[in-house]
A and B are shown apart, each in its own frame.
Chain A
Amino acid sequence: MTKQLESLGRFSLFVWNSLLWLFRKPYRWRLITDEILFIGNESLYIVSLAAFFTGAVFAYQSWLAFVMVGTDSMVGATVSLALVREMGPVMTGLVVTGRAGAAMAAQIGNMRVTEQIDALEVMAVSPLQFLVSPKLVAGTISLPLLTAIFGMVGNLGGYVVAVWVCGVDPGIYISKLKYFMDPWDFYHGLIKSGFFGFLLTAIGCYSGYRAKNGAQGVGKATNDAVVSGFIVILVLDYFLSILVPTGVRVQ
């Protein structure tokens, strides 16, 4: 237990110091945009692919259940609510952890074991400011944007399957969706994804930063980043779902 608390303390200090470096000159705007490009733009294809098929399969399974009780008109609203509130932020978080979080841990871990981080310090450049802070900002900005795209593409996948495969009436599909959706459902997902983006980036960077023992250590850091990222996203999602307001309507 003491060890876990120590680790948590070290992680918190690491994140806190990285945040403080954001406000010290020189400001690293260029690095932030580069990281947004890496975390956001380069994740676009895989996030879109995951979104389309998540929406598609969820629509199909929902239709199978709803059709048994004659409420297949609810497929659109169900798919959309689930996508923007839960599946969008969580799935995007998991996909980006697997892609960008792992890559960050590997990059920083490799720099640690090959003394490139020491080289930065010797050249009077803060590794936290140069390597970590820009990634934290980029992760926090990119995840909500990717989540919004996940929601749109996922809804498209759900519509295609519900209307073209299962035969749900397109007018009813859209009208129910509009009736049951509220802007706060959308905001709920975006706020959660901002937290996920910040944390998955922090975990990826921290795992890499503490890597040791050569290539094996880099592999372990990458593994730690992905496993910890997944667990934190899933656990945190539960608590944020309770704390962050939604557009839920009590009929």
Chain B
Amino acid sequence: MNDQDVALEFKEVWKKFSNSATPTLAGMSFQVRKGSIHVLLGHSGAGKSVTLKHFLGLIVPDEGHIFVKGQDIGKCGDVELTRLRKTFGMLFQNSALFDGLDVLENVAFPLREHRREMREEEIVRRVEDLLESVELRNIVQKMPSELSGGMRKRVGLARAIALGPEILLFDEPTTGLDPETARVIDDLIVSTTRRLKATSLIISHDIHASLRIADFVSMIWEGRIIETASPADFVKSRDPVVKQFLESAGVTAVSNAGKL
């Protein structure tokens, strides 16, 4: 892959937490292609969320390099890191909506912080457009506690795309949702990524959904990436861990061929 085609990159990243006997990331390397939807699969506790947080500079690696749009974030100062973060949008596992703010204020938050030139009417109109784009209407006055899990995810997604990010990060976006709502959220992720011409990195353990929406799938095992491939090639992987992971989810190359 040409360097200019790479949106995100891990190069030999090591991270060990003080309360853990083994490193969470053990020389992890992988790349995310610009404009693609890349899913990172792995078991619970494999280090998927830790990987995402490294890209945002929320966790600093012990060793190795992390590149965002070709820039080594380990060499970024506060100002540079802030500038880079503005190019990200992130949907958290539990949506991470601000409890004390209603839906309007939650979605308007990044606009009020970073688009200070916008007038109040413009902000309200923009929020309504954003909510419309995630198929939500007439909920601006509701508090997060009054929303269902699926609605919270959609409000979280509307907030994540408020500034028109180039890179979208999703931390287990469909965990805890019923299959129908999960499918709606998956479809929204795909349509939003394509509409914004953004790059999406999704971490998940839902193999079926991942194979359906991803351009590329990577598998984490013991702090390393053991396989990266397109969904069609991923299901044919010869790696024993990947094979076992797929089998445990009832996925075989033959059974999945029709869905790809």
| B and A form one assembly | yes
Instruction: Please judge, given known A-B contacts A115-B96, A116-B98, whether A122 and B113 are in contact too, CB under 8 Å.
Output: no
- Choose among A115, A118, A119 the residue with the greatest number of B CB atoms under 10 Å from its CB: A119
Report chain B residues within 8 Å CB of A115: 92-94, 96
Instruction: Please judge, given known A-B contacts A110-B99, A116-B98, A116-B99, whether A122 and B56 are in contact too, CB under 8 Å.
Output: yes
Q: Tally the A-B contacts, defined by beta carbons under 8 Å.
A: 47
- Which residues of B from 63 to 106 have beta carbons under 8 Å from A? 82-83, 85-86, 88-90, 92-94, 96-99
Report chain B residues within 8 Å CB of A123: 85, 109-110, 113-114
A232 interface residue (CB < 8 Å to B) = no
A114 interface residue (CB < 8 Å to B) = yes
A1 interface residue (CB < 8 Å to B) = no
Instruction: Please judge, given known A-B contacts A110-B99, A114-B96, A124-B82, whether A119 and B90 are in contact too, CB under 8 Å.
Output: yes
B58 interface residue (CB < 8 Å to A) = yes
Closest to B98 in A: A116
CB pair B88–A122 under 8 Å, yes or no, is yes
Closest to A113 in B: B94
Interface size on B, residues (CB 8 A): 23
Kindly provide the distance from the CB of B161 to the nearest chain A CB, expressed in whole angstroms. 12
Closest to B93 in A: A115
B194 interface residue (CB < 8 Å to A) = no
Closest to B81 in A: A124
CB pair B92–A124 under 8 Å, yes or no, is no
Category for how many chain A residues contact B: 10 to 19
CB pair B96–A124 under 8 Å, yes or no, is no
- Which residues of B from 83 to 139 have beta carbons under 8 Å from A? 83, 85-86, 88-90, 92-94, 96-99, 109-110, 113-114, 116
**Of the candidates B85, B93, B99, B114, which one forms a contact with A122 in the assembled complex, judged by CB atoms under 8 Å apart?**
B85
Report chain A residues within 8 Å CB of B97: 116
Q: How far is the CA of A122 from the CA of B159 in the complex (A)?
A: 11
Kindly provide the distance from the CB of B193 to the nearest chain A CB, expressed in whole angstroms. 17
A121 interface residue (CB < 8 Å to B) = yes
B43 interface residue (CB < 8 Å to A) = no
Query: Could you give, for residues 111-151 of chain A, a 1 whenever the CB lies within 8 Å of some chain B CB and a 0 otherwise?
Result: 10011101101111100000000000000000000000000
Report chain B residues within 8 Å CB of A119: 90, 92, 96, 98
Kindly provide the distance from the CB of B115 to the nearest chain A CB, expressed in whole angstroms. 12
CB pair B113–A118 under 8 Å, yes or no, is no
Query: Could you give, for residues 30-63 of chain B, a 1 whenever the CB lies within 8 Å of some chain A CB and a 0 otherwise?
Result: 0000000000000000000000010010100000
CB pair A114–B94 under 8 Å, yes or no, is yes
Residues of B at the A interface (CB closer than 8 Å) are 53, 56, 58, 82-83, 85-86, 88-90, 92-94, 96-99, 109-110, 113-114, 116, 169
Given contacts A119-B92, A122-B89, A124-B85, 5 further A-B contacts (CB under 8 A): A118-B53, A118-B56, A119-B98, A123-B109, A124-B82
